[in-house]
Amino acid sequence: MLKLIFRRVALTLPTFVALMFVTFVAVRMVPGDPIEARTGERGIAPERLAALRHDLGLDQPVWKQFLDYAYGLLHGDFGVSIVTKTPVLHEFLILFPATLELALCALVFAIVLGIPAGVLAAVKRGSVLDHSVMTVALAGYSMPIFWWGLLLIMFVSEYLGLTPVSGRMDLINYYFEPVTGFMLIDSLLSGQEGAFGAAVAHLILPSIVLGTIPLAVIARMTRSSMLEVLGEDYVRTARAKGLSPLRVVGLHALRNALIPVVTVVGLQTGTLLAGAVLTETIFAWPGVGKWLIESISRRDYPALQGGIMLISAIVILVNLIVDMLYVAINPRIRHG
């Protein structure tokens, strides 16, 4: 097991170096530069532009800028945002808890609904239930996020008045300083009456919106994987032995059917952690996705590079954990 982990970690190193290089080059290939991007209609005098570029080190040859950047990274320095002048790592650490909190809630929503839905559809193959689940899953998968988010806001928040529209907390009635950055925890720590409930209420719609696509993918994957497993000999044997259908499906079939599902969950987690730009924008969720998109439009090279590197590291780590989970679920992989 340790050898496997070591091998996997060693393999990620070249990935990182390649990623660092590609990110560095790609952000500089986008037309425009950070100083001109923030200049309005007035424009900027060439001498002033040159002076400001010099201050930011943008007048250096690109290879030198890259080496400086790589040197900084090796020392844990992700640079300083051109726009806000604060360290990139500091900005990321402020925003990431919001992304993580939302991603986890969306994932829980997707798994809790997706796996049972997929199992039911497989067991009742060809029934009305099966067709309904698959139709809803297809609809969920094809749903434009922006439209879905606004629809839920209009119906659930505005019309039914059940949830708040956006943000992470009721700003009129509560105020407490962030401690962990996770609103669910901070609201509990604040000890203010009703704050935790408000935090939960604010999480409902964004979690549904962000979890809809993973939910659809997980449900479909669980169904097809279950169908395959249900046809296997050992399931027939288990049935022949007179085991209850719940035991056959829940214990014998589901465990084996889960392997591809875990892969999908892992991939979806990676996507969710990279930040959900549209969901974050609609629900005014202060996460890393929106931050990265703004960094592109402002040509904030350090924020963009640092943000991509940090997110990639997290995605790679999640994939590593998923690989380890396979081994736990299916011992054959250990020997493969």
- Give residues 53-92 in contact with another protein (rule: CB under 8 A): 55, 82-86, 91
Instruction: State which residue, 83 or 329, has the beta carbon closest to another protein.
Output: 83
Sole window of 13-21, 128-136, 194-202, 325-333 interacting with another protein (rule: CB under 8 A): 194-202
Contacts of 139 (CB under 8 A, 6+ apart): 216
Number of residues binding to another protein, judged by CB under 8 A: 65
What whole-number distance in Å separates Cα of residue 334 and Cα of residue 336? 6
Phi, psi values for residue 61, rounded to 5°: -60, 150
What whole-number distance in Å separates Cα of residue 258 and Cα of residue 260? 6
Min dist CB 162 to another protein, Å, is 11
Instruction: State which residue, 116 or 197, has the beta carbon closest to another protein.
Output: 197
- Give residues 33-52 in contact with another protein (rule: CB under 8 A): 33, 35-46, 48, 52
Binds another protein (CB under 8 A): choice among 17, 284, 321, 328 = 284
Binds another protein (CB under 8 A): choice among 193, 233, 242, 335 = 193
Q: Is 227 in the site for another protein (CB under 8 A)?
A: no
What whole-number distance in Å separates Cα of residue 106 and Cα of residue 205? 10
- What are the beta bridge partners of residue 125? none
CB burial class (10 A; 0-12, 13-18, 19+) of residue 233?
exposed
Listing DSSP states for 276-294 in one string gives: -HHHHHHTT---HHHHHHH
What whole-number distance in Å separates Cα of residue 174 and Cα of residue 288? 24
User: Hey, how many other C-beta atoms are within 10 angstroms of the C-beta on 221?
Assistant: 23
What whole-number distance in Å separates Cα of residue 331 and Cα of residue 336? 9
Binds another protein (CB under 8 A): choice among 24, 109, 148, 283 = 283
What whole-number distance in Å separates Cα of residue 181 and Cα of residue 92? 11
Sole window of 103-111, 148-156, 219-227, 238-246 interacting with another protein (rule: CB under 8 A): 148-156
What does the per-residue mask of binding to another protein show for 159-188, with x meaning CB under 8 A? --x--xxxxxxxxxxxx-xx--------xx
CB burial class (10 A; 0-12, 13-18, 19+) of residue 291?
buried
Binds another protein (CB under 8 A): choice among 4, 50, 89, 94 = 94
Min dist CB 66 to another protein, Å, is 22
Q: Is 206 in the site for another protein (CB under 8 A)?
A: no
Instruction: State which residue, 72 or 167, has the beta carbon closest to another protein.
Output: 167
Instruction: State which residue, 123 or 288, has the beta carbon closest to another protein.
Output: 288
What whole-number distance in Å separates Cα of residue 317 and Cα of residue 200? 28
- What are the beta bridge partners of residue 87? 80
Q: Is 290 in the site for another protein (CB under 8 A)?
A: yes
Determine if residue 261 is left, alpha or beta; phi over 0 gives left, psi from -120 to 50 gives alpha, anything else beta: alpha
* Residues found in the chain: 336
Min dist CB 15 to another protein, Å, is 29
Residues that bind another protein (CB under 8 A): 31-33, 35-46, 48, 52, 55, 82-86, 91, 94-95, 98, 150, 153-154, 157-158, 161, 164-175, 177-178, 187-188, 191-197, 281-284, 286-287, 290-291, 294
